[in-house]
């Protein structure tokens, strides 16, 4: 049980990371489904829509796909899309209230619901620095993840939303 608890922690020492086995078992392997093909987008409610658009386009290289409004809800939104297909939908309402900020991934798990979103990247250090330069805050600097073939880091966008970046070792079978 102690080993399982160490593996469930998001932040581990390199020694603990080496002990964790994150390989799926046959019983846990996902079944093919005609109903779902991929995750399309992550939706974030933000205070300042225009500032969030600037941050995500600069930090992640997303491009604006379209804007829309839902007048009866007083909601404005922008969908930003990455070259490889995923999107971030930013939504803003004047009557929205901020969630309590999570200072790190472990604290985020104390709240039910959205905790963070994660992007698989080819250059963890380079993109981490780019996201920082765009205005993010350091949460967990790039380093080893619980899985031995993965490096990861966490940042917070200017409104406190957690973003995880992971890099899979080339040739790994994840």
Pick the more confident residue, 87 or 13.
87
**Which domain does 60 fall in, by range?**
38-96
**Residue 170: is its pLDDT beyond 90?**
yes
> Is 8 inside a domain boundary?
no
**169 and 109 both lie in a single domain:** yes
Q: Is 80 helix (H, G, I), strand (E, B) or coil?
A: strand
**Residue 66: is its pLDDT beyond 70?**
yes
> Is 150 inside a domain boundary?
yes
**Residue 89: is its pLDDT beyond 80?**
yes
> Is 63 inside a domain boundary?
yes
Q: What is the CATH number of the domain that holds 85?
A: 3.10.180.10
What mean pLDDT is predicted for residues 39-46? 92
Pick the more confident residue, 151 or 104.
151
**137 and 68 both lie in a single domain:** no
**103 and 152 both lie in a single domain:** yes
pLDDT in tens, 105-147: 888 888 877 889 999 999 999 999 999 999 999 999 999 999 9
**76 and 90 both lie in a single domain:** yes
**111 and 171 both lie in a single domain:** yes
Whether the model clears a pTM of 0.85, i.e. scores above it, the answer is: no
For position 5, what pLDDT does the model report?
34
**128 and 139 both lie in a single domain:** yes
Residue after which a domain boundary falls, among 96, 123, 141: 96
Residue after which a domain boundary falls, among 49, 79, 96: 96
> Is 54 inside a domain boundary?
yes
> Is 120 inside a domain boundary?
yes
The tally of domains found in the chain comes to 2
**68 and 112 both lie in a single domain:** no
The sign of the torsion formed by the CA atoms of 106, 107, 108, 109 equals positive
Q: What strand order describes the sheet that includes 75-81?
A: 41-45, 87-92, 75-81, 63-70
Closest CA to 77 of 98, 57, 49, 42: 49
> Is 13 inside a domain boundary?
no
């Amino acid at each position: 049980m102690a080993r399982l608890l160490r593996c469930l922690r998001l932040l581990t020492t390199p020694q603990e990371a080496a002990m964790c086995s994150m390989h799926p078992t046959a019983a846990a392997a996902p079944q093919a489904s005609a109903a779902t093909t991929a995750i399309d987008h992550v939706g974030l409610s933000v205070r300042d829509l225009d500032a969030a658009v600037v941050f995500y386009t600069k930090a992640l290289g997303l491009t604006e796909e379209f804007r829309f409004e839902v007048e009866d809800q007083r909601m404005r939104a922008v969908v930003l899309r990455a070259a490889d297909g995923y999107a971030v939908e930013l939504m803003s309402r004047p009557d929205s209230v901020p969630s309590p900020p999570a200072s790190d991934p472990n604290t985020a798990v104390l709240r039910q619901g959205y905790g963070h979103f994660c992007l698989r990247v080819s250059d963890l250090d380079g993109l981490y620095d780019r996201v920082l330069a765009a205005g993010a805050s350091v949460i967990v600097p790039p380093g080893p993840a619980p899985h031995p073939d993965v490096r990861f880091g966490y940042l917070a966008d200017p409104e406190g939303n957690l973003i995880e970046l992971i890099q899979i070792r080339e040739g790994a079978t994840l």
